[in-house]
Homo-oligomer: A and B are copies of this chain.
Amino acid sequence: MYEGAIQDLIDELGRLPGVGPKSAQRIAFHILSADPADVTRLATVLNRVKDQVRFCTTCYNVAESEQCRICRDPRRSDEFLCVVEEPKDVVAIERTGEFRGRYHVLGGAINPLEGIGPDNLKVRELMSRLGSGEVKELILATDPNTEGEATATYIALLVKPMGIDVTRLASGLPVGGDLEYADEITLGRAFEGRRAV
């Protein structure tokens, strides 16, 4: 619809996840009128991210060197290992400030419909990390959906015979939520997991 470069930019932006044709157009016109220095910075960081960001060789979180910040931190406990699906889950858990152990990022969850099995995830790498015997508790923090539950169950079955405590994050009512609007599965889990006060 537009001439040359601006249309190319709209097309490229439209390929990004969650960016529809209208937002792509809006962003493109924003860029057209933005400070050239801002645009150069965005273009530079786009190239840099592919060159510089690697995955930590220990936990497979995003990292800029051989190991990520968390794996390099000597103050963190090696006895607790938290298994998550994606690097963004590490950030979410770090934000709580509740966990001082290490992480292991699987890179997804088991999803037979999309052809993702344990071999496509960092499960073998997890097992060899556990082989060192330092880990006392393995916390399964995969998403509380079908794929995440299946992945947690699969890993639990593998790890339990090794004599390591395996735990799963609690399911229940979200804090600040409304009991009336909780779905029946969440409310059922909240009942199941009720605790003495």
Contacts and interface: CB of A to CB of B under 8 A. Distances in A.
A145 interface: no
Interface stretch (A32-40, A116-124, A159-167, A183-191): A32-40
A44 to B, nearest CB: 8
B64 A5 contact: yes
Given A18-B23, A18-B26, A46-B39, A4 B88 contact: no
A8 B45 contact: yes
Interface in A7-38: 8-9, 12-13, 15-19, 23, 25-32, 36, 38
Interface of A: 1-6, 8-9, 12-13, 15-19, 23, 25-32, 36, 38-53, 62-64, 68-69, 86-88, 91, 94-95
24 contacts: A1-B91, A1-B95, A2-B62, A2-B87, A3-B62, A3-B64, A5-B51, A8-B49, A9-B46, A9-B48, A12-B38, A12-B42, A12-B45, A17-B26, A17-B27, A19-B19, A19-B27, A29-B86, A29-B87, A32-B62, A39-B50, A40-B47, A43-B47, A46-B46
